[in-house]
Amino acid sequence: MPAPGGWLRAALEDVDAALARDPAARSRLEVVLTYPGVHAVWAHRVAHALWHRPGLWLPARLVAHWARMVTGIEIHPAAQLGRRVFIDHGAGVVVGETAVVGDDVLLYHGATLGGRTGAVGVRHPQLGAGVVVGAGARLLGPIVVGDGAQVGANAVVTKDVPAGAVVVGVPGVVRPARADEVPAPGADVPNATRPVI
């Protein structure tokens, strides 16, 4: 488990990520007390740490289960989340066991990082840094979504997405992003320059 200072630093980054990406957020206190996406990420950090300790899989699953009941967001304890991941609104988000979510990723409500088979091994998406996943989007299978890519609302994506691309539709079709659509991975995203999705 990280040192107490590491947990606190990560928690503050999460709060600041919410403030940077959500124009409705008015204060750190508001985010800490009322943002289910932030609460789900915090609970996941605890569950993930437990998951990697011998004999603590059941407590890890119980923490994840509790978080799902409280927030409406389901993140498997084995899933890997990067820094400053923000889940906006949150309701209905699902992140599968072998999913990897990079730094500075933004997931909107109803997004699914799911599998297509019950096969053992990597079966969920791997998201690069700065990816935006729109409301209701379904990313299915062991696909790779490159840094800075955007997935449109309700898109269904079953193939790899190149860095910086925009995916829309059912099935998801990749189109090149315009320069003003994709923030650089790790860049501070001020309220005035929101993702287009």
Mean pLDDT is lowest, of 22-36, 39-53, 165-179, for 165-179
Indicate whether 11 pLDDT > 50. Answer: yes
What is the number of domains present in the chain? 1
Residue 39 placed within a domain? yes
Q: What is the pLDDT of residues 20-33, one digit of tens each?
A: 999 999 999 999 99
Higher pLDDT, 4 or 71: 71
Are the beta carbons of 2 and 53 closer than 8 angstroms?
no
The answer to whether position 56 is within a domain reads yes
Residue 194 pLDDT grade (very low, low, confident, very high; cuts 50, 70, 90)? very low
Flag whether 182 is in a domain.
Answer: no
With cut-offs at 50, 70 and 90, classify the pLDDT of residue 196.
Answer: very low
Sheet order of strands, 106-108 included: 86-88, 106-108, 132-133, 150-151, 165-168, 173-176
- CATH number of the structural domain spanning residue 67: 2.160.10.10
Boundaries of domain holding 129: 4-176
Residue 193 lies inside a defined structural domain of this protein: no
Whether residue 45 is contained in a domain is answered as yes
pLDDT in tens, 71-120: 999 999 999 999 999 999 989 999 999 999 999 999 999 999 999 888 88
Residue 112 lies in a domain: yes
Q: Is 184 a member of any domain?
A: no
In a domain, 191, yes or no: no
